[in-house]
């Protein structure tokens, strides 16, 4: 979709900037990682710095070291990701295609005359623009309709809402409020006191995502656009989620227009589910676990798929699968299955409605990742799940699901770093270091060993040969802040390495 909203050069420019915000890098490495010629990257970097200076009055935002590494100016490092999204939004606003979609996702309809006037385009160009955009929107089962000189979005109602939410939330984040006829203030005034108390604990970005949901559902229902009925199986699962966490209790206070009781119930169940999916911490961890246990007792496609998947994971990957961990797995797998059932083969297009594209945990070919991919591919070919093979086998769907599996499998693994203390200059040093480490780290994760052969790290105040498998940290003063800081950083690095090396 972004190919029609941003020129390729702007996309590449932003991707280069995003890569440098994540970590400093050489021109050669950037070229290899992003598959862009070094000479082109240099042009992008120059143009990017010019754009940032023009729009934000920051000179030399991206800088180069003597050794040839490129990095973000340390003075602006803390606000670099905000600046990235602000620059992306500026580039999007320069796109006529994005401007048209913005108008039609934040207001139900516009007259053709209003569109021509606001976008400063001709009638013939508008027709061509609609045709071009509709080629992309067809993937979502929606389109821009021009009828009686009025423009509006039509098609699958769930797709219209998901497309609107994902496009607006990814583009605007918490930078601006894109709706002209529905203000944040109006939405806040419609919220109950208990919802306001809960939302006060959330970040502004998460609150804004919630407001996006409310604004979109208000816009659509006021114009008699309602979601399709749920299947009996899906409705039952949605009701389980609703009973566990009634996010949609605000419905009675919103200006949604007249609705039949059956339609209103349907809208509430959808809203509750989608809020739980796209704003994950709107449901508390203990509620997720409770729902997971309920899903384990349920007999439906999403829950059965989740339980079979969990069983295979337990067999393949050894770990600490407590009851609560298993319930958590089942909760997340079931929600994802429900979403994939709702959107079917449109799933990859929704998953790709983010820029930069989603980064999955599947780039490195570790044994764990390969096993997860093989396990998933084998599972979706089973006869009892073959009905959903078309959706579940799509590349983006597979990557997203396997990424979720990988993240959850990591939850069952507890790293253990054994440290041998080679401290001989003061007989109080070993108990002192042992005590300090137990304060800084969980003793079950970082343990002191008396057997140097089992150690992952040696802390020494004397000469002690090191090896690749057993690094040695030399410390000559136990009261030195800088040395303790370096030691803590080294322990953290070794723990993270244990997590990701498997």
Determine the straight-line distance between the first and last CA of the chain, rounded to whole angstroms. 36
pLDDT of residue 195: 73
Specify the residue for token string 């209790």: 249
pLDDT of residue 453: 85
Q: What is the mean pLDDT of residues 393-402?
A: 87
Q: What is the mean pLDDT of residues 196-211?
A: 81
pLDDT digits (tens, 9 = 90+) for 60-78: 999 998 888 899 999 998 8
Q: What angle do CA 9, 396, 163 make, to 5 degrees?
A: 70
SS3 110: strand
The phi, psi pair for 58, rounded to 5°, reads: -115, 115
**Predicted confidence (pLDDT) at residue 165 exceeds the cutoff of 80:** yes
The answer to whether residues 427 and 421 touch, using CB atoms and an 8 Å cutoff, is no
pLDDT band at 360 (very low <50, low <70, confident <90, very high): low
pLDDT of residue 178: 95
Q: What is the mean pLDDT of residues 181-208?
A: 81
The answer to whether residues 473 and 489 touch, using CB atoms and an 8 Å cutoff, is no
Rounded CA separation 299/202 (Å): 35
For residue 86, count CB atoms less than 10 angstroms from its CB and return exposed for 0-12, middle for 13-18, buried for 19 or more: middle
pLDDT digits (tens, 9 = 90+) for 468-501: 578 888 887 777 788 888 889 999 988 888 777 6
Rounded CA separation 446/455 (Å): 11
Structural element, H or E, at residue 448: strand 446-449
The full set of domains in the chain, from first to last, is 2-93 (1.10.10), 96-282 (no CATH), 285-411 (no CATH), 417-500 (no CATH)
pLDDT of residue 465: 62
Q: Rg (Cα) of the chain, in Å, rounded?
A: 27
> HEC profile for 303-337?
HHHHHHHHHHHHHHCCCCCCHHHHHHHHHHHHHHH
Give the contacts of 299 (CB within 8 A, at least 6 positions apart): none
Structural element, H or E, at residue 60: none
Lowest mean pLDDT among 83-97, 159-173, 307-321, 350-364: 350-364
pLDDT digits (tens, 9 = 90+) for 5-55: 888 889 999 999 999 998 888 888 989 888 899 999 999 999 999 999 999
Q: DSSP of 114-173, one letter per residue?
A: HHHHHHT--HHHHHHHHHHHHHHHGGGTEEEEEETTEEEEEE-HHHHHHHHHHHHHHHHT
pLDDT digits (tens, 9 = 90+) for 433-471: 888 889 999 888 899 998 888 888 988 877 656 555 788
Helices (H), 6-122: 8-22, 27-34, 38-56, 80-93, 96-106, 112-119
pLDDT digits (tens, 9 = 90+) for 252-299: 666 676 778 899 889 989 988 998 888 877 888 899 999 999 999 999
| 259's tokens | 């609705």
Q: What angle do CA 335, 337, 340 make, to 5 degrees?
A: 110
Structural element, H or E, at residue 72: strand 69-72
pLDDT band at 135 (very low <50, low <70, confident <90, very high): very high
Rounded CA separation 230/445 (Å): 47
Q: What is the mean pLDDT of the chain?
A: 88
Q: What is the mean pLDDT of residues 312-339?
A: 91
- The highest-confidence range among 33-42, 136-145, 268-277, 379-388, by mean pLDDT, is 136-145
The answer to whether residues 59 and 65 touch, using CB atoms and an 8 Å cutoff, is no
157 or 3: which leads in pLDDT: 157
């Amino acid at each position: 979709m972004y190919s029609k909203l941003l020129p390729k050069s702007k996309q590449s420019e932003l991707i280069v900037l995003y890569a440098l915000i994540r970590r400093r890098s050489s021109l050669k490495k950037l070229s290899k990682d992003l598959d862009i010629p070094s000479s082109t990257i240099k042009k992008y970097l120059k143009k990017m710095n010019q754009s940032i200076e023009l729009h934000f009055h920051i000179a030399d935002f991206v800088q180069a070291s003597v050794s040839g590494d490129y990095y973000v100016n340390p003075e602006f490092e803390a606000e670099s990701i905000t600046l990235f999204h602000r620059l992306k939004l500026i580039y999007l606003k320069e796109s006529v295609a994005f401007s048209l979609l913005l108008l039609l996702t934040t207001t139900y309809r516009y007259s053709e005359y209003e569109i021509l006037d606001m976008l400063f385009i001709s009638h013939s160009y508008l027709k061509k623009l609609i045709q071009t955009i509709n080629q992309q929107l067809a993937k979502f089962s929606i389109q821009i309709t021009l009828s009686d000189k009025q423009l509006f979005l039509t098609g699958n109602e769930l797709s219209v809402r998901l497309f609107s939410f994902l496009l607006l939330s990814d583009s605007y984040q918490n930078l601006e409020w894109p709706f002209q006829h529905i203000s944040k203030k109006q939405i806040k005034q419609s919220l109950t006191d208990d919802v306001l108390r809960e939302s006060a604990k959330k970040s502004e970005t998460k609150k804004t995502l919630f407001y996006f949901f409310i604004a979109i559902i208000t816009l659509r229902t006021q114009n008699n656009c309602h979601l399709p009925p749920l299947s009996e199986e899906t409705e039952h699962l949605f009701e389980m989620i609703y009973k566990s966490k009634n996010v949609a209790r605000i419905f009675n206070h919103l200006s949604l227009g007249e609705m039949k009781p059956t339609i209103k119930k349907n809208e509430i169940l959808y809203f509750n589910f989608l809020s739980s999916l796209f704003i994950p911490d709107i449901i508390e961890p203990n509620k997720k676990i409770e729902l997971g246990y309920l899903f384990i007792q349920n007999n439906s496609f999403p829950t059965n798929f989740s339980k079979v998947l969990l069983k295979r994971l337990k067999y393949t990957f050894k770990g600490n699968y407590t009851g609560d961990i298993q319930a958590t797995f089942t909760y997340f797998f079931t929600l994802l299955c429900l979403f994939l059932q709702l959107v079917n083969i449109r799933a990859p297009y929704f998953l790709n409605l983010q820029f930069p594209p989603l980064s999955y945990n599947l780039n490195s070919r570790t044994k764990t990742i390969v096993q997860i991919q093989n396990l998933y591919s084998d599972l979706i070919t089973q006869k009892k799940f073959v009905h959903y093979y078309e959706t579940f086998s799509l590349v983006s769907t597979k990557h997203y699901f396997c990424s979720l599996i990988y993240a959850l499998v990591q939850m069952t693994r507890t790293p253990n770093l054994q440290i041998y203390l080679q401290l001989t200059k003061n007989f109080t040093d070993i108990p002192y270091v042992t005590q300090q480490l137990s304060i800084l780290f969980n003793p079950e994760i970082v343990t002191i060993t008396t057997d140097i052969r089992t150690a992952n790290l040696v802390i020494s105040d004397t000469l002690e040969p090191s090896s690749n498998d057993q690094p040695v940290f030399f410390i000559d003063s136990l009261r030195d802040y800088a040395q303790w800081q370096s030691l803590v950083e080294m322990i953290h690095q070794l723990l993270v390495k244990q997590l990701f090396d498997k």
